Structure 1
Amino acid sequence: MADSSVEVVPSLHCLVARVSGEMAQSTVPLFRARFRQLIVPPARVIVLDLAGVSFCDSAGLNVLLAARRQAHALGAVLRLAGVPEQLQQTFRRTGTDQVLRLYDSVIDAETAPCG
């Protein structure tokens, strides 16, 4: 659990958080709490950089979906960037890629038009 983290990184355009480690049942409380802290007004666009995520199970997927719901309820947009191929495959298999917005890089996510 100690190697899993969420770190806010500087950005001019939106709130960017670098997520790393395993997003699994044992780390869900950490991620849930951090995402709740980050997704608050006045944030309009939140980018989660998942390039450092080494593993994500169904509990991790649920945390990401909950973060999307929280952002949506506040009128904000949640974007995922740098999603590792293994996680992209999981998103495709589960249909999660139809709900979450995926971008190749943080820069792509930051500069994508809202809407």
Structure 2
Amino acid sequence: MTAAVRFTLHPDATVPHTLIMALSGELDYDNADVLCERITALLTGEYQRLVLDLSGLTFCDSTGIKVFLALRTLIDERSGAIALTDLHPRLDKVFQMTGLGQLFAVYPARADALNLMRAQPSAP
């Protein structure tokens, strides 16, 4: 049995239309669908951009990767942006080995992603 994946919201009024959250625990077959449903429900029409801090995500299997791809598709449909930050070293290795690092904007720290999003206007 794996540890549950958890998420914490981190609102920041200086970055409009952006949902900011941190994931922690293990993202796998047992919890990936539920997490994807919860994040999708939070991504109401108000949000066009998503920042995911992954520093606390210690494990991610292929179903977890599917969650990231599904969220990317959802955000792309809104002409928005998704940024992944603070990848745990194990997850960073998976992203580099699979080429996923080229599909996502990956930043070393949440502050880096937020600074970039502050500088970019939101889509109408």
TM-score of the alignment, normalized to the shorter chain, above 0.5: yes
Separation in 1, partners of 2:120, 2:28: 30
**Deviation sequence 1:82-111 (CA, Å, 0-9, x none):** 111111110111111110111111111111
What is the DSSP-based 3-state SS (H/G/I as helix, E as strand, rest coil) of the residue aligned with 1:22? strand
**Structure 2 partner of 1:47:** 51
Q: Are the equivalent residues in 1 in contact too, given 2:49–2:80 (CA < 8 A)?
A: yes
What is the DSSP-based 3-state SS (H/G/I as helix, E as strand, rest coil) of the residue aligned with 1:66? helix
**Structure 2 partner of 1:25:** 29
What is the DSSP-based 3-state SS (H/G/I as helix, E as strand, rest coil) of the residue aligned with 1:51? strand
**Unmatched tracts of structure 2, length 5 or more:** none
What does 1:65-76 correspond to in 2, within 5 Å? 65-76=69-80
What is the DSSP-based 3-state SS (H/G/I as helix, E as strand, rest coil) of the residue aligned with 2:44? coil
What is the DSSP-based 3-state SS (H/G/I as helix, E as strand, rest coil) of the residue aligned with 2:21? strand
Amino acid at match of 2:6: S
Separation in 1, partners of 2:111, 2:63: 27
Give the TM-score taking structure 1 as reference length. 0.90
Give the TM-score taking structure 2 as reference length. 0.84
% of aligned pairs identical?
Answer: 27
**Unmatched tracts of structure 1, length 5 or more:** none
2:87 matched to 1:79? no
